[in-house]
Structures are given as C-alpha cells and as structure tokens.
Amino acid sequence: MAAADELTTMTAAEMAAAVAAGEVSAVELTRAHLDRIELTDVKVRAFLHVGAEPALAAARSVDERRAAGRPLGPLAGVPLALKDVFTTTDMPTTCGSKILAGWQPPYDATLTRRLRDAGVVILGKTNMDEFAMGSSTENSAFGPSRNPWDLNLVPGGSSGGSAAAVAAYQAPLAIGTDTGGSIRQPGAVCGIVGVKPTYGGSSRFGLVAFASSLDTPGPLTRTVLDAALLHEAISGHDPNDSTSLDAPVPPVVAAARNPDVAGLRVGVVAELSGDGYAPGVLTRFNETVELLETLGAKVTEVSCPHFTYALPAYYLIAPSECSSNLARFDAMRYGLRIGDDGVASAEEVMSLTRATGFGAEVKRRIMLGTYALSSGYYDAYYGKAQQVRTLIIRDFEAAFEQVDVLVSPTTPTTAFPIGERADDPMAMYLADLCTIPSDLAGNAAISVPCGLAPENGLPVGFQVMAPVLADDRLYRVAGAVEAALDARRGASFLAQARGLAGLDETAEAGR
C-alpha cells in the first residue's frame, strides 16, 4: 500500500496523534486526502466544492503552531468534509439548491468557526438533499451522491455526501445535520458511525434552517472514538443561538475511550421492529442485542406506543417550519434572481425565481407546510402534530424511568437503488421510521455499524437512544458494540470493506 493510502486509512485519533508527534505533517495528511478525492469522487460524487487552497493553508497553520511549540487540539491537522448547509466565508454554501448556486456567505457558522479554531482542516463542502429535505441525496440540484459499497445505491440522506466521503476514505471526519434522521440513516447505510447530539448541544448559528425545532448538527466518522472527539469539538453553549443549551458538554470522549455496559439497562423498543423491516436488518439487530447481554447489559423490551405516530407528526411539523424558514429566499437580497427583464412586479420575480430555484421535494414540503399553517387548518394539523410530539416525549420519559438507553435498528432496510423510490415519497419517508422519534423529542441518538445483511452483504446500523444531555451513554454502548464486533472480525468494519465498488481500482488507474 502506498504511503498516501496508509495516511487515509488511519483513524482521526491516530492522525491527530501522528501530527502532534511530528510523525506526519498536517499538509501531508491534507494532500493525501485531496488526492483521494480527486481520484475517487468522479464515481462517488460526495463533494459539491473542494477547497484545496484554503485546506492546505489551514494545514500549514497547524504545522507552524506545532513547530513553534504551541499546544494542539485533539483533532488538529485532521481533514474533515463539511455538509454544504453551513456558512463558510472561503467556500460557497448552496444547500444543494439552484436558488443558492454560487452564494458566498459573509460569515462563518459557529460550527465552522469552532472547527477552524480546533485546527480541523475543512477539505470542502459535501452534497446533500436540497435544504436537507430527503433520505437519499437524490434531491440535490447537482445530482446524487453514490454509496461507496455499491455505486448503484443511494448513500442515504440528507447528509449523504458527508457519509459517502467518510465511507470512501476521502475524509476521516464529516459533519452532517439530523432533522429526521439525516445523520444516522446515511451513517447506517454507508457502514459508518453517525451521531445526533442532544438538540441544542451543537450550535445552529450559521446552519441554513430547514426545521428550526429539529435541526441538529453532528458527526459522521469511521469509529466511535473519532465521533466522540468531533462531538466534543463542536459542542458547547453559543449565545448567538437562542436554542443553544447552557450546560456542560457530556463526557463523551471518556465514555468512548472506556466503553462499559455491565449493569446498563437496555430497552428494546417494541414498536421499532417487525413488519416492513428487512430480515437481514432484524437478524443483525437481534444478534447485537444478544451481544450486549453477553457483555453484561440487562436487556428488556419497552413499549413506546406513540412512536407509531412519529412519522405523520414529523411530516406536518417539519414542512410547517420549512415553509416559514424558506420564505426568506425571495430573489430580493441574495441567491438566484429570475425575470428582471420585462417583469412588472417584485411578486412575479419571486414567483419565477422560486419556480426555477426550488426542486420538486422542497416545493412539496413548502406546500404541505403552508397548508398546515393556514387559517382554519392550523389547529387541526400543526397543532395536533405538536400534541403528538408531546406524547412521544412522554413515551421517552416513561421509558427512561425503566431503562438507561433504548435500542432499535437505525433503518428498516439497507441501502436501496438510486431511482427506486424517487417517485414514491411515502416509501422514501419510511427510511426515517426509526430515527424521527429522537428528533421530535430532542434526545441524543447514535447509529453504529453492526454487520452486513446476509441477503445482500450491505451494512446494517444499530441505533442507541439516550436521554437529553446523556450523550455519553451513547458512546458507552456504541463503543462496546464496536470493540466486541471488531474483536470477532479481527479487523475494523470498514478496514474489511475497503476496496468495494472498485474505488481503489479507480485510484490505481489514476496513478
């Protein structure tokens, strides 16, 4: 294996340690990942924009700090792929939409700034479903990303580009956002770790809003420890975000370094399995539950009866909030502007611009949300959905009186073919069946790989849910699962999988 390939296969924790010890420079790491992107992204299509020069400049800054004897952060010099929904002053922010094509923000998101301050090297901006609305990345105005396990399959969504970049070894770290499962679902189908922190634990300032009461930034990585390190780096109170929690960051890194489930009470959610779930998904999920028992966890079944109403409630709440948030894209201040020539009114310019700039799924959700918020229907639709949301929160509260964490499959199926559900919105929405309850309640959740489905050899995700601000419990369970399964395999999950879909062959051909 070439030296560059060795660099891209290290974990983020290993990369940071190597940079701190002077064994490799941040510039070398960055160049190795930029080369990997150049050679493989023609197939994967994970990135919308690669900022090679800003990335190399950030890497040189880390190397200069080290040479000067200044302390480095836990992830200094490590490359990262950033979902194209966060504002960045040195790269465009498009949200996967034509209406923002080429827009250069005048400020960095809080999360972007925290990454820069931590010495993390941002390689570029990743593809996504337009304004984070979708479960497959097929709703991007710039074309779909592809799953590195099989290039004919979706990488999940809406953070599909971020997940694909990590799974393809283009970056060891990525940031996504989770509104209805948009970190955990792509994490599961790409065979990587995806974390939704407690709502308010990571800042939304500079995150272009889809649904403000739901949107949560979080990590996508290849290992549980890497996720914990990134989780800690982006967390903490932000006075610029009115929903930011002014509370200590849970000890996620300590939990990931010392995972222990002995005596932990684990609840299997009865409503999140059964009909509609692929047999291979249930097989791997049940095996992982049994594994936790062998590690000393106390497993019991728990009923959360209102979880069955989470999907319809979500598809009233999220579209209502998106209808309000996307009203700002009016062609008057920034972004696309259609119809200046020969158009009589500002209203016509707005109408033409929105008709051209927004894709079909965004238009669908805006119309649903506008209807649900309209006079005479607000109480019947949006109001009732919020009442269901309260019942789901109460289900979680009752469950967490009995157990320490809840578990379920992350998704009902493995990755599906590109185009298979494009014309069937309900089938697409069902991909988020297991993940939506945690978004509605605001509690923490993680997806960790738990093996391959026997029928197709594709990754299966194991979801762990914890109470609000008990994010460290996620890492106790996920870390224990990861360690036990890696010990059985004799290698890390993605280390075994590297080379799928011919990506390494692409790299060799490029040389």
By annotation, the residues acting in catalysis are: 83, 158, 182
Spatial separation of the C-alpha atoms in residues 401 and 442, rounded to whole Å: 17
The b/e string for 210-249 (b: 16+ C-beta within 10 A; e otherwise) is bbebbbbbbbbbbbbbbbbbbbbbbbbebeebeebbeeeb
Assigned token pair, 462: 């194991």
- Residue 354 is classified by DSSP as H
Spatial separation of the C-alpha atoms in residues 130 and 112, rounded to whole Å: 20
Residue recorded with tokens 């299997």: 268
Question: Taking a C-beta distance cutoff of 8 angstroms, is the pair 189, 154 a contact?
Answer: yes
Nearest CA to 361 among 319, 321, 314, 316? 319
Cis peptide before 158 (omega within 30 of 0): yes
| Helix or strand holding residue 407 (H, E) | strand 405-409
Spatial separation of the C-alpha atoms in residues 484 and 194, rounded to whole Å: 18
Query: Sheet holding 298-302: strands in order across?
Result: 47-50, 121-126, 79-83, 173-178, 216-221, 193-196, 444-452, 459-466, 405-409, 265-269, 298-302
216-221 vs 173-178, strand pairing mode: antiparallel
DSSP H helices in 210-359: 224-234, 252-257, 279-294, 310-325, 346-357
Assigned token pair, 414: 């493995």
Residue recorded with tokens 């185009």: 419
Residue recorded with tokens 């480095």: 72
